[in-house]
Chains A and B, each alone.
Chain A
Amino acid sequence: MDEQELTNSRLGSLEYDPAPESAGIAHLRPSYGLFIDGKFTDPSSHEQFVSLNPATEEVLATVAQSSREDVDRAVASARHAYDTVWSKTSGAERSKYLFRIARLIQERARELAVVETLDNGKPIRESRDVDVPLSAAHFFYYAGWADKLGYAGFGPHPQPIGVAGQIIPWNFPLLMAAWKLAPALAAGNTCVLKPAETTSLSALLLAEILQQADLPPGVVNIITGDGSSGAALVDHPGVDKIAFTGSTDVGRQIQQRVAPSQKRLTLELGGKGANIVFEDAPIDEMIEGIIDGIFFNQGHVCCAGSRLLVQESIADDVLRRLVRRMEQLRVGDPMDKNTDVGAINSSAQLARIRELSSFGESEGATRYTSNCALPDKGYWFAPTVFANVSQSHRIAREEIFGPVLSVLTFRTPEEAVVKANNTNYGLACGVWSEKGSRTLWVAQRLRAGVIWANTYNKFDPASPFGGVRESGFGREGGRHGLEAYLDV
C-alpha cells in the first residue's frame, strides 16, 4: 500500500449529474377556488393569494382566501351532508369510498409527489417514497375500520361526532390531510379541512381525487386561506369537533377559544425530541438515524430528534462522524431525485431558524455548518450541528423547526432520562442501544407519546402518533386514532 496516499478520501467525489423530475405532470392551474359541496367555487370576497415555490420563489398558482361566509357555507354543506347522506351511509359503503380514494392516490402518485415538492420544497425522493405512499396507506388502513367500528374497543356501536373542523400544517401537507380525513370519514363524520396557507395545492389535488371517487358532495370540504379562516372554523358553532396540528402557541389559543363550548378537541403540537445514544449503539445506523432524525424534511418535523443526548464516553467520536455525514447531505433543487435536503418552506420560517440559530452561538455552543453550496434564489438553510449545548440554552429548549441539531451529553441512563424529560414538550424520543432491557427501561420512563428504538421518524397508519404535555393530546393512527372521531 502506498503510504504517500495517506490523505483524506473525499466522500462524494463521484459527482451525480442533475436528475430532475419533470414538473409538467403537475398540470397546475393558474388559480384555485374553494372546494365546497363537491365543487370548486369562488370565494365570496374573490380574494386570492399566491402560493410560491420556496425553492425558486416563483409563483405556482393563486389560491382562494376564504372569508367567514365561505367557512359558514362549508360548515353548512358538511352538516347537510352529514344529516342527509353520510350518517345514513353504512360502514361497508364508507369503507369502499375510502378504498377508492386510497387507490386513486396510488394511481396519481407521481402527480401528487411533484405538486407536493413544488409547493412545499421537500425533496421529490421524499414526496415520492414517503409522503404519497403513507397518505395512500392511511386511507387503506382506515377504510378497513369503517365497517368494523364495533371491534375497535369503544363499545359495540360507536357513533360519529358529526362535523369535524380540521386545521393542518405546512410540513406534510398531503399526509396531514390524510391523517385527518381518513379516520374522520371512516368513523362517519363529515369534514371541513383548512390546509396551511403556504401549502394548499396538494389538498386541492386531493379534492379532485375525492370527486373522482364520487364521494358525496359536502362530505369533505376544503377551504384555503390564512389564519383567519382557521380561526373562523374553530369558532364556528356548527362544528362539533376540532382537530389541529401545528405549533404549541396556536394550539394553546385554540384550546382557549374552544374551552367555553362543547366542541371536542385534539391537538398535535410541537416537540423538542431527544435522541438518546448509549455507548453500545450500533454506530453506523445510529449516525444515519440522528441525521435522519433532524435533517429529514429539512427538520420541519414536530417529532424531529432535535436534541442529541449522547453518552459522554463516545461523544467525540459520534460528533466527528456526525459532522462528516452531515457534510455529505445533498442540499438543493427539491425536484432533483438525488437531493437529500430541500428548501425551507417560507421566508418567515427561514427568519425564525436563523434567529434561533444565532442564539446558539451567542450562548456559547460550538457550531458546525455544512459547506454545501446553496442556490441563489429560494429559502435555504445549511444543515447545522451545535455541540457543547446544555439544557439551559435556548437552542436546547425552543423548537427551531429547521435543520439544526443540538448536542448534549449524559453519563448514566438516569441522567439521560432526566435530561430528555426536562422540557414542556413530550412528542417523540429515540433510544439507541443494543441492550433491549435498558432500551425498555428508558422507554418506560420517557415522557413521550412516541419512542423509536434503534430507528427514527418511522410512521405507519397502524401506529398511534401523538404527544403528551404541551405536545398535545389525542392520537392519530391505529385503533386509538378512531377515538378522536367517535362519540365515546
Chain B
Amino acid sequence: MSTAPLRLVTSDDYGVKIANKSSVPSVGSEAQLKSVLASLAGVDAVGLEGRCAKLATRSIKKSTKLAAIDLAISMIDLTTLEGADTPGRVRSLCAKALRPDPRDLTVPSVAAVCVYPDLVTEARSALGNSTVAVASVATAFPSGRASLKVKLLDVTEAVEAGADEIDMVIDRGAFLSGRVGEVFEEIVAVKEACRDAHLKVILETGELVTYDNVRRASWLAMLAGADFIKTSTGKVSVNATTPVALVMLEGVRDFAEATGRLVGVKVAGGIRSTKDAMRYLVLVNETVGSSWLSPDRFRLGASSLLNDLLMQRLKQHRGAYVRADEFSGD
C-alpha cells in the first residue's frame, strides 16, 4: 500500500477564491441591510487577539525584511492633518513622498500624500503627474459631524482641486444608534461625488469599540461601494490595532469571495515602527494573500513610520544601528 499521501485538491484551490461573477447583494432597504449585517458571524475577542499575538511572533529577517520594508514604503499614505498645516509644510512632505531618501534612488516613492481639502491644490502642484497620488480627507473629517450637504461639498471641492483619493468618515453616531441606513446612504452619496477618485471609508474603529461592530461596519461600507475600508482618523485615542485590522482583512476576503469585488484595507494611526508595519504585512500575507500585498489594496496611513523604515533599510545595508538624523524630519 502506498504511503504517499493522496492529494485530491491542488494548491490553486487553497487560496482566497474570488468569485468570477460580480454579484453585489442588493440591499434595497434598511431592514434588508440590518438583516445582512445581523447574519454575519460574531467575533470572539479572545480568539482574535490570540491569533494576532501568535502572528506577531513571525520572524521577518534578511531578504524578506528588505523586501517587506520596500513594500511597506510603497504602501504609505504620507500624512499631514494638522490645524497648523501650511503650503510650505505640504510641499516638503510631497518632496519626501517622491524621494524619501534623496541619496538613494532605489528607495521607492510612497503611495500617496494625505492632506486636508484646502491643501489639495498645493499637493497636486507639488506632485504633478508622478506616481504618488493625492489623497484628501473629507466629509467634516475627523468627527463627521456636519450636514450631508456640507460633507458632499467638502468632497466635491477636494475632487475638483485634483484629489485622486478621498478618505471619508462614517457617521459613528448614526451607526452606534442603529441608523445603518443613513450611514449606507451617505457612503453611496459620497462615492458618487467622488466621480473618478477612489473612496476610502474610515470606520473610526476606536469609537466603534467592539470587533462585532467593526465587522458590521466593514461590510456596510463595502456593500455601499467603498474602494478601501480604513481603520481610523488617527485623531482619537485608539487607532489602528492588529486585531481590528484582522477583522477588516477577513471582511474583505469574505466579501471578495461572495461578490468578486476586491476592496482594499488601510490601517492608520499609531503605526510608528518598522516592527508595527511588519506585523500588518504578516496579517495581510496570511489572511488575504498576494492580491492584497500591493499599494492598490493595502495602505499604511502614517507620518513618522517612513523614517523608521528608512533607518531599518539603511541598517540592513550597513550592518549597524543608525541615527535618526540621517533622514529629513519632514
| A and B in direct contact, judged by CB atoms within 8 A | yes
A residues at B contact (CB < 8 Å) = 1, 3, 5-17, 19, 125, 129, 280-286, 288-289, 323-324, 327-328, 337-338, 354, 357-358, 361, 366-369, 371, 382, 384, 434, 454-455
Distance A361 CA – B8 CA, assembled complex (angstroms)? 12
Distance A6 CA – B23 CA, assembled complex (angstroms)? 13
- The answer, among A10, A11, A327, A367, for a CB contact under 8 Å with B6, is A367
Measured CB to CB, the nearest residue on chain A to B281 is: A14
Distance A361 CA – B12 CA, assembled complex (angstroms)? 23
- The answer, among A9, A454, A455, for a CB contact under 8 Å with B290, is A9
Is A13 within 8 A of B289, CB to CB? yes
Distance A321 CA – B44 CA, assembled complex (angstroms)? 17
Contact partners of B262 in chain A: CB under 8 A: 1, 5
B19 within 8 A of A: yes
Known: A10-B290, A367-B8. A16 touches B44 (CB 8 A): no
B173 within 8 A of A: no
Please give the distance in Å from B67's CB to the nearest CB on chain A. 8
Contact partners of B261 in chain A: CB under 8 A: 1
- The answer, among B42, B64, B260, for a CB contact under 8 Å with A14, is B64
Distance A166 CA – B212 CA, assembled complex (angstroms)? 47
> Which of B29-65 touch A at CB < 8 Å?
41-44, 46-48, 50-51, 57-65
Contact partners of B10 in chain A: CB under 8 A: 371
Distance A6 CA – B261 CA, assembled complex (angstroms)? 8
Contact partners of A1 in chain B: CB under 8 A: 227, 261-262
Distance A373 CA – B289 CA, assembled complex (angstroms)? 19
Selected A-B contacts with CB under 8 Å, 12 pairs: A6-B20, A9-B18, A9-B289, A10-B289, A17-B62, A125-B57, A284-B43, A285-B48, A324-B16, A367-B5, A455-B44, A455-B46
B250 within 8 A of A: yes
Contact partners of A338 in chain B: CB under 8 A: 58-59
Known: A11-B288, A14-B293. A6 touches B260 (CB 8 A): yes
Contact partners of B285 in chain A: CB under 8 A: 11-14
B15 within 8 A of A: yes
Contact partners of A361 in chain B: CB under 8 A: 6
- Beyond A11-B287, A358-B1, 13 extra complex contacts between A and B, CB < 8 Å: A9-B18, A11-B285, A11-B288, A12-B286, A14-B71, A14-B285, A280-B41, A282-B42, A286-B44, A323-B14, A369-B7, A371-B10, A434-B44
Distance A357 CA – B4 CA, assembled complex (angstroms)? 11
Known: A3-B22, A382-B5. A8 touches B15 (CB 8 A): yes
Contact partners of B58 in chain A: CB under 8 A: 16, 337-338
Is B59 within 8 A of A16, CB to CB? yes
B291 within 8 A of A: yes
- The answer, among A281, A283, A323, A384, for a CB contact under 8 Å with B5, is A384
- The answer, among B6, B22, B291, for a CB contact under 8 Å with A9, is B291
Is A285 within 8 A of B14, CB to CB? no
Is A323 within 8 A of B9, CB to CB? yes
Is B41 within 8 A of A284, CB to CB? yes
Is B8 within 8 A of A16, CB to CB? no
Distance A125 CA – B59 CA, assembled complex (angstroms)? 10
B219 within 8 A of A: no
Is B43 within 8 A of A285, CB to CB? yes
Contact partners of A368 in chain B: CB under 8 A: 8-9
Measured CB to CB, the nearest residue on chain A to B251 is: A284
Contact partners of B250 in chain A: CB under 8 A: 284
Is B64 within 8 A of A9, CB to CB? no
Contact partners of A369 in chain B: CB under 8 A: 5-7
Measured CB to CB, the nearest residue on chain A to B211 is: A282
B310 within 8 A of A: no
Name the residue among A1, A12, A284, A328 with the largest chain B CB count within 10 angstroms: A284
Is A327 within 8 A of B47, CB to CB? no
Known: A288-B47, A366-B8. A16 touches B14 (CB 8 A): no
Please give the distance in Å from A95's CB to the nearest CB on chain B. 32
B89 within 8 A of A: no
Measured CB to CB, the nearest residue on chain B to A336 is: B59
Name the residue among B17, B22, B44, B262 with the largest chain A CB count within 10 angstroms: B44
Measured CB to CB, the nearest residue on chain A to B2 is: A358
Is A354 within 8 A of B3, CB to CB? yes
Measured CB to CB, the nearest residue on chain A to B261 is: A1
B11 within 8 A of A: yes
B69 within 8 A of A: no
Measured CB to CB, the nearest residue on chain B to A129 is: B57
Is B289 within 8 A of A454, CB to CB? no
Contact partners of A125 in chain B: CB under 8 A: 57
Distance A288 CA – B50 CA, assembled complex (angstroms)? 10
B168 within 8 A of A: no
Measured CB to CB, the nearest residue on chain B to A456 is: B47
